[in-house]
Structure formats: C-alpha cells, structure tokens
Structure 1
C-alpha cells in the first residue's frame, strides 16, 4: 500500500498536468476553428457561431475524429468512462500509450469544434492511462495496476473540477468496485496531489461559485426530492434515447468512421437554433446557478442541448458526459426554482446532483460533487435529497446506467451494487456435514473397491486409528489402484500418506474454503477440531447452499406480528 501511495503522488501530478494540457488544447482548437488564429486563451464559441460556419465547423471536427478513431485507436470513441471500467474489469487495467495521447487530442478537437461535451470523460480516460502506463513499468499485479489507473482518473477529474472528495467517491462508486485500504489510500493521495497542483495550473476556488442566499428547511428538502423524481425520469429517458440513436447509427450503410460527421450535422443545426449548446458550455451552468436566465431561454437550452448531446454521443464521437448532464440538470432545477421556495440557484444545484446521480448511478458522488462545484457545503442535505430521489427512480426505471449499458451491449454484464460476500459471513461449522462416514487407513485397496461398489458418495475421508484424517479416497482412486495386483492388498493409508491433505477448522469463514478449493482444485475438505480430530466434511455443494441461504434473506418475506418467539 505504501509503495502504491508513493506512485500515486506521481500519477496525481501527471493527472493534473494532463488536465492542464487538455484545457489548453481545447482553447487552441476553439480559437483555430472559430476565430482563425492560434491562441491558448479560453474563449466562448457563442459570438462566432453564426451562418454556414456553424454547420461546417462541427462537421469538419467530427471528420477529423472519425479519421483518428479509424486509423489511430477505436478506444477514443465515446466519453471514456465505460472504456475505463472495461479496462479495469476485463483488461487487467492495461491502457496503451496511444490512448493516452489520442484521447485528449480527439476530445479537444471535438469540444473545440462545437461538440456538446465536457472535458471530464476524456481526462478520466487520460489520467487512467497515465496511471496504467506507470504501473506497467513496474512488477505489479492487475489489482495494483487497477489502483493506479483509478488514481490517475481521480486526479484528472480533481484537476478539472476542483472536487477531490467527489473524485474519491467516484472512484469507489463507479471505477474501483471495492473499498479497500490498498486502493482507497493511493486514490486519495493522487486526488490530493492534483488539488495541490490545481491553483498553480488551472485556478483555485469552486468552479461554479454559488453566492446567492438560499433557504434550507423541510420545504426545500421536499422540493429537492420532488425535483429528483422529475430529473430521474428525464435521465432515464435520455439514456434510453441515447442507445436507440446508437442502434440507429449501427444500421446505417456507411462505415462508423463517418458517423460522428453525421451526428455533427445535428449539432450544427442545434447551434443555429441556440449557439449556447455548442462546446462545453460551462458559462451556461454558471448562469443557471446565478438565476440570470429567463424561463424561455432555459427551456430552449434544455431541449436543444438534450437533442444535440444524445445524437452526437450516439454517433460515437469523443467527449465527456458530465458537463452536459450538469447543464441539463441545472436547467430543470432552475425552471423549478422559479416556482419553488428556496431560490433558483439552490434548485439548479440540486438538479445537477440529481441528473448525475440518476445517469451514472453514483448518488454519493453526485451529492458531494454538486456542493464542491458550488462551494456550498451547507446545501449538502438538499443535494442529497435530490440525488437519492433521482437515483431511486433511475434504478426502478432502467436496469443499467448510461455507463454500464454500453458495456452490457458488448456482452459484459455487471452490477454496481456493493454487498458483503455471503460466504464471508458463514463459518465452516454452520454448513459442514457433521460426523461423515469414513474409511480406516488400515482398510485394503481391494476392500475399498468392494465398499465403493455400493457406496452412496464418490469420495470419503480416510482416518487413522485416532480418528485423524490422513487423506481422501474416491471411487476412481480405488479402481485405479486395483489395476495393479500388488496394490490390491495395500492399506489405504500407505497409498495416500503423502502429507498433502488440506484441512480447515470449523471456525474458518467459508469464503476462505472456497479460495482453498479453487487454489488446490479439490472438491471436498475435511474439517478438524483443535486436536486434529475429524469433525466434519465440507464440499462445493455446501458452498452453494450457503449462498442460497443468504439469498433467501433477500427474497423471502414473512410476518412475525402476533406469533410467539421461538
């Protein structure tokens, strides 16, 4: 763990540097595409988005991305987080140098040319690639590579948004699939390293400061929860629409390299209707939080942004999903804030939390992310109410999140539910077969063969005169020994006394037995007491029964009212 924490310092610094570089590349691409000059100064697309240029620039940028994906790496397609999850779960946390270079470049081209995305998905992929590549330079296990990959992803997200705690929670809820000191400590170190570098590279303070006064009481909590329900329905609809559109692109009779350009046509049309939908649109999020946008403008932004985003993302172009989700959630919340008590900014923030939670199935991350982005820790209860409500609705409506659906479509199904392994809660003594039938070590092989002719089981433990197990004998063993006449009269103890028998105590957790069976490729293990005497036998079937018993606690319902306790 200490070694990984040390490497995480390097990964965190690399993630912060990659985030700085990505923002500079986005600014350069924006200036080149819309203002015809090279500059790293951040600019808005809105003043330059007019006329035929609004159609041509997004299409040209998407054609470049299609070529990069076709002749560079297909892994730059999409928003990056599903690809990072897939690399963690199914690719032994190995990412290539090509992805580390092409992903931020393609994202810069996409966002700079007007793509309705944010920088967070690509930087999560790029930061993860930095961690993975560093890990591959050392003699590390796949689990240790995963830790450094996720540490890089958390560092990149922290550097972009200035949200270290939310980045740590995102690592746990979305990427790590575990909560262990071995992984959590290095991820924390990387996130803290990135936030330490951020004031020097990008800036300090909350990214979207919310300074307006707000009222937080029971009424606003109820209002935030109701908002979460509405946003949860919208998020589920957007996720379904995204994958229907993606399916539609797959049915087109053209190579997937040209899909981003076709999607960019819709983006360009959307830009003609409302130029604010082009690019990351961070200034729109700030305006929604400030309450400076009228209801009609909010509705237009909400509808057009939602359409161009799902079409562009469904086409397979490169870009992140967090910024669009935040904008859409803030728009719904700002609309609600015009009628609900508590202030427009409060509900815009709550809408951001609800949209992120419902879409990504990360309620804790979303609530903390919203308050870190706005610098309003006092609004955490409101953010939590909206986040959990949106999450609950999304879980009821859709089987998978916007992240895991893409992975499932590749034939890899996974669950984001975190539970304790049922086998770790059960002891061997609770499920073992007590006082099993045994064979004596003095029994001859010939007698054992006769015994197995009518025996109900395929194998039995062999014990010495004191009742201590010395081995296990199966029907196949006895018949094999009978093929050699000198072995027929040999006692069983002589045939199996190689000292390799594995035994377990009745107090051992069952998950440890499962690991033993897997490691030694055995199906039955004798259970012995402190004196080494055989007291039971545990088989693979017992493990399945133990898991089934624990699952019944989830399924079976019964009423105890009015019954006498036993």
Structure 2
C-alpha cells in the first residue's frame, strides 16, 4: 500500500508567495468589515422599528442558506475540509461568497452571531480558492494562510508573516477593527490598549462654557472645534502651553461658540470616578 502524496514541503518561494493570501486576505477583511457597518447604517435608515432588524438579518441568512446550505451553522466541519484539502470547488466558492455576504449583512442587522468561526471559514475558503494557481504544497497549506490572513485583518491579531501583511494593510486602510468599530460608534473611543479613555467619552461642546462673542480679551493661540473629543482638546492645550481655548465652528472659524478650560477636562474623569464608586440599584 502506497502512502498518499502529501505534496512538496513549503520552501522559500512559498514563503514569498505567502504575501498573496496575506494581501488578498487583508483586502477581504477590509471589505467584510466595511460591509458590516454599511449594513448597520442601512438598517438604521429603514422605516421600521429596530426590533425588526434581527428578523430581517435572519431572512438574509435564510436566503443564503438556500443558495449554499453549508454556509449555515458553526461550520467546523467545513473548516476541517478546507484545511485538509478535501473541499470541492463549489463549496469553496459558495463559502467565500455566501458566507461573507450573510455574515456581514446579518451582523450589521444586530442578529446574534459569532465572529471567530465565520472568519475562519471565510479566510480558509479564500486560501483554498487561491491554491489553484499557487504552487502545490501540503494539503491545506494555502487555506491555512488564508485563514490566518483574514483573521489577522479582521481582528487585528498578527500572529504569522501572512497575517502581518494583512494586518498592515488593514491598519493603513481601516481606522478600527470589526470588534472595536461598534464600540467607537457608541462614542466610546478606544486606545491601543483596548481600555476606554475617559477623555475620549466626551466632546468639547458637552463641557464647554457657552460664551458666544466676537472677540476675546487676548488673541487665542489655539482654537477648539465642538466635535473634538476632550483627548484632542487636552493635546492642543498641552502642545500650546495654554489652559483654555475658544471653541469655534468648524465651518466658520469666526463664529465663537464658547470657551473650554483645563478644569472642564476633569469632567470626564469625575464621571469615570462616579461610575466606579456608585452603582445604580433597581429595587422592586
């Protein structure tokens, strides 16, 4: 009995060509992330109550299931076939197109769903699709690289050389990952340490003292816009060695809306301390 041909061992050429699934995986990650929040914005404009959005997302999943039934569910069996080189071309294309569409659109609708397993399926299908024109290596080699690339791009988790290239492309073209964009849309902007910065939770117009007037007593060295976060305001004050700044309209710098001082930047920290030491209790 002969042992099956496991293909050639990946060499320097394969290492260089790992950029192919890396960069395409990064582009797919960007596209899928953009589609999630395009769908969220689209659902927000629908003339129906938000409680119907997940139902519409479920309808999208159902339509996708009619087109490619194996795109439904957790998909561990599909991931196994993709990573072991046993997936058919129809399955690869079906998962790549249908799973990407229904995952992005349904997640944007607010339908409960995961991120990790669907991204595994999408990434592995991308690598498996590209294996047809890349050098033959061990079964599932390119599918594994595609999986790493899409996970690295979507979740900003560069673990391999392939995912580093996808991560780099994602960082250059996207402000945030699919995981942190939703938090940022709730006006809780995150630092790189993934902790909420109190100064990023408030905007200048929320804490400023309204003082519309044509001229200030002394010429201002720095101006603040009402839609800037307190973190941006603090940076401006620090860079210019001042403790206060006028707030002006972004479109009309001559329109003075108020003034913001160093003391008002403490508002965010006071709110943060209040939430740490006081817990609202609901009594029957």
1:389 correspondence with 2:165 = yes
Residue number among 129, 135, 140 corresponding to 1:345 in the alignment: 140
SS at match of 2:140: helix
- Report the alpha carbon displacement of residue 343 of structure 1 after superposing the two structures with TM: 3.5
Which residue of structure 2 aligns with residue 410 of structure 1? 186
Residue number among 29, 32, 35 corresponding to 1:238 in the alignment: 32
- The alignment covers a number of residue pairs equal to 195
SS at match of 2:37: helix
Which residue of structure 1 aligns with residue 113 of structure 2? 319
1:398 correspondence with 2:193 = no
Given the superposition, is the C-alpha separation of residues 417 and 236 from structure 1 closer, same or farther in structure 2, using an over 3 Å criterion? farther
Contact 1:357–1:387 under 8 Å retained in 2: yes
Which residue of structure 2 aligns with residue 272 of structure 1? 66
TM-score normalised according to structure 2 size: 0.64
- Report the alpha carbon displacement of residue 286 of structure 1 after superposing the two structures with TM: 0.4
Contact 1:338–1:344 under 8 Å retained in 2: no
- Report the alpha carbon displacement of residue 297 of structure 1 after superposing the two structures with TM: 2.7
Distance 1:280 1:354 in 2: 20
Distance 2:90 2:57 in 1: 26
- Report the alpha carbon displacement of residue 406 of structure 1 after superposing the two structures with TM: 0.7
- Report the alpha carbon displacement of residue 255 of structure 1 after superposing the two structures with TM: 2.0
Higher helix share: 1
1:304 correspondence with 2:98 = yes
- Report the alpha carbon displacement of residue 312 of structure 1 after superposing the two structures with TM: 1.2
SS at match of 1:403: helix
Q: 1:443-501 deviations in whole A, cap 9, x for unaligned?
A: xxxxxxxxxxxxxxxxxxxxxxxxxxxxxxxxxxxxxxxxxxxxxxxxxxxxxxxxxxx
TM-score normalised according to structure 1 size: 0.33
**Match runs of 1:452-491 below 5 Å:** none
Distance 2:24 2:138 in 1: 18
- State the structure with more CA Rg: 1
Contact 2:71–2:94 under 8 Å retained in 1: no
1:359 correspondence with 2:154 = yes
Contact 1:226–1:389 under 8 Å retained in 2: no
Distance 2:113 2:94 in 1: 22
Contact 1:298–1:335 under 8 Å retained in 2: yes
**Match runs of 1:537-552 below 5 Å:** 544=238
Distance 2:107 2:150 in 1: 17
1:286 correspondence with 2:62 = no
- Report the alpha carbon displacement of residue 360 of structure 1 after superposing the two structures with TM: 1.0
**Match runs of 1:38-53 below 5 Å:** none
Distance 1:225 1:329 in 2: 14
Distance 1:249 1:344 in 2: 41
Distance 1:258 1:295 in 2: 36
Distance 1:265 1:344 in 2: 36
**Match runs of 1:140-539 below 5 Å:** 215-341=9-135, 342-363=137-158, 367=159, 384-416=160-192
SS at match of 1:412: coil
Q: 1:351-398 deviations in whole A, cap 9, x for unaligned?
A: 1111111001111xxx3xxxxxxxxxxxxxxxx121101001101111
Distance 2:193 2:142 in 1: 28
SS at match of 1:340: coil
Distance 2:112 2:165 in 1: 30
Contact 2:68–2:98 under 8 Å retained in 1: yes
Distance 2:71 2:132 in 1: 22
- Report the alpha carbon displacement of residue 305 of structure 1 after superposing the two structures with TM: 0.7
For structure 2, which runs of at least 5 residues remain unmatched after alignment? 1-5, 195-234, 240-284
Distance 2:41 2:139 in 1: 37
The CA RMSD over aligned residues, in Å, is: 2.4
- Report the alpha carbon displacement of residue 310 of structure 1 after superposing the two structures with TM: 0.9
Contact 2:7–2:139 under 8 Å retained in 1: no
Q: 1:209-259 deviations in whole A, cap 9, x for unaligned?
A: xxx566232111112122110110110011011101011111122222221
Structure number with the bigger relative contact order (C-alpha 8 A, sep ≥ 6) is 2
Distance 2:181 2:47 in 1: 24
